Every structure is written in structure tokens, then in C-alpha cells.
């Protein structure tokens, strides 16, 4: 498995307001990710993230979501970590609004790798102490460091 610190860079960790709805959050996320990946358009990425959400919410519960998709124009998985200033409804099973998002975009052909990366992120978010610490982070660099330290 690819280590998460090779998939998630400090430049793709954000703290702030991304919008008041799940759709707007995903749109803002697609715009920011597309700016950091050559050959990827925000529209293509947004379309794939929305298509995945239509299959079922990526909200895990406890204020955490794991939006993910496959994309034809990339060769390596990429990720973003977001701490929202204002939680947004992600249609999570527990109905809690989401304020922490880990977004994973993998090449179209990356099946096992995709699942292994998702499992590693879910395991990280299962630690309530870690999640609490992430929510306390005030700067993107701190959020990145706190998230990666466990991998």
C-alpha cells in the first residue's frame, strides 16, 4: 500500500468555509484539488465525486465524511483533508453534520489500492482521541501533521 503521506500533501490540507451544502463543499474541494493536479479539471472531478455520492452518502458518522472517486486522468492517488468552519449535512447514517472530510481520488484502474487507502483512513478516524485532536487544529500545517503522525 502507498503510505498516506505520499497521497496527502500539506498543500492539500484546508481549514475554512467551503460552502453551506454538501454539493457546494464538493465543488469547492474539486476546484482546489484540480488546481494542484495537472490534467485534471474541476468539472471532471466534481462530476465523479457527485456520481459516487449518488450511490450512497460517504458520510461515516460522528461528523466525518470520506468522499472518494476514480478518475481517468491521474496516475497516482491523491487526497485532501478538510476541516470545515461550519459543519454541513452529508446525509450521514447518524445524521450528524460533517466538519472533517478526507477526500481520496484514485486512478480508474486502482481497485485494491483504493480499498486499502480507504481502510487506513477509516481506521485513523475510528480513534476518538485523534479525531478530537484534529478538530482542535487551527492551522492546515498542524492538521496535516496530526493526521499523518499515525501512519
Average pLDDT over residues 104-121: 86
Report the run of H or E that residue 150 belongs to, with start and end. none
C-alpha to C-alpha distance for 148 and 103, rounded to whole angstroms:
14
pTM above 0.85, yes or no: yes
Q: Which of 22, 68, 70, 83 is catalytic?
A: 68
CATH code of the domain containing 139:
3.40.930.10
CB 18 within 8 Å of CB 82: yes
Average pLDDT over residues 37-59: 94
How many structural domains does the chain have? 1
Q: Which residue has the cell 451544502?
A: 21
Q: Please indicate whether residue 114 is annotated as part of the active site.
A: no
Task: Report the candidate in 58, 130, 50 with the shortest Cα–Cα distance to residue 89.
Answer: 58
Domain, as residue range, for 106: 4-148
C-alpha to C-alpha distance for 9 and 126, rounded to whole angstroms:
21
CB 29 within 8 Å of CB 49: yes
pLDDT in tens, 72-103: 889 889 999 999 999 999 999 999 999 999 99
pLDDT in tens, 53-64: 999 999 999 999
Whole-number pLDDT of residue 150: 57
Query: What would the grid cell of residue 124 be?
Result: 485513523
CB 66 within 8 Å of CB 60: yes
Task: Report the candidate in 27, 33, 32, 95 with the shortest Cα–Cα distance to residue 65.
Answer: 95
**Residue 146, SS3?**
helix
Q: Which of 2-11, 93-102, 111-120, 137-146 has the lowest mean pLDDT?
A: 111-120
Amino acid at each position: 500500500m502507498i503510505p498516506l503521506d505520499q497521497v496527502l500533501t500539506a498543500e492539500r490540507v484546508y481549514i475554512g468555509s467551503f460552502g453551506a451544502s454538501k454539493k457546494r463543499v464538493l465543488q469547492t474541494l474539486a476546484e482546489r484539488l484540480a488546481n494542484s493536479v495537472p490534467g485534471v479539471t474541476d468539472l471532471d472531478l466534481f462530476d465523479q465525486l457527485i456520481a459516487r455520492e449518488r450511490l450512497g452518502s460517504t458520510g461515516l458518522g460522528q461528523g466525518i465524511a470520506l468522499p472518494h472517486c476514480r478518475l481517468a486522468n491521474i496516475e497516482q492517488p491523491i487526497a485532501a483533508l478538510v476541516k470545515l468552519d461550519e459543519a454541513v449535512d452529508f446525509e450521514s447514517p447518524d445524521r450528524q453534520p460533517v466538519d472533517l472530510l478526507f477526500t481520496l481520488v484514485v486512478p480508474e484502474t486502482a481497485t485494491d489500492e483504493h480499498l486499502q487507502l480507504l481502510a487506513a483512513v477509516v481506521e485513523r478516524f475510528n480513534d476518538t482521541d485523534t479525531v478530537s485532536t484534529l478538530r482542535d487544529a487551527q492551522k492546515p500545517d498542524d492538521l496535516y501533521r496530526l493526521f499523518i503522525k499515525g501512519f
